[in-house]
Amino acid sequence: MLPALALVAIAFTFLLFVRVSGARRRMLMQRWPSLLLAAAALFALARGALGPALALAALAGLGWYVFPALFGRAPQPPVAEDPQDAEARRILGVGADATESEIRAAYRRKIASAHPDRGGAHNLAARLTAARDRLLKR
């Protein structure tokens, strides 16, 4: 049973560091005590200790919500946004916290009617493309 758990742990670690996105990886790394307690609960369960396994699982669940609130980083002061970035966000109609996929979706929506082949103006299409490129930092 222990080699099987080791294989599961290796597979989980591989998936965590290779397949999970950066934002989710950061979230999981902030909650590392909960993951450690959950692994200990699985180990205790594999050894047949149901009581300690349930206690460790309850602590893992509690720690999942409590640990980031207790030991999370202090909020960073807002950084003044570059005026050109703000203009690019205004042109595309996205917020300051827009993700890459949201920026691309807003660009696709707006360029569909602004493209010169669709009867739009070349100037507007160029501004939309420049705004997208600026926000995606190409």
CATH of residue 107's domain is 1.10.287.110
Could you give the angle at the alpha carbon of 42 between the alpha carbons of 50 and 37, nearest 5°? 100
Shared-domain flag, residues 28 and 88: no
Instruction: Indicate whether 53 belongs to any domain.
Output: yes
Instruction: Indicate whether 88 belongs to any domain.
Output: yes
- Spell out, as residue ranges, where the chain has pLDDT lower than 50: none
Mean pLDDT of the chain, nearest integer: 82
Q: What is the per-residue pLDDT for 89?
A: 93
**Residues 108-135 pLDDT 10s:** 999 998 888 888 889 999 999 999 999 9
Structural domain span for residue 8: 2-71
Shared-domain flag, residues 90 and 124: yes
- CA-CA distances (angstroms) from residue 19 to 13, 29, 54, 64, 106? 10, 15, 29, 21, 26
Instruction: Indicate whether 77 belongs to any domain.
Output: no
Shared-domain flag, residues 114 and 60: no
Shared-domain flag, residues 15 and 67: yes
Please state the pTM of the whole predicted model.
0.44
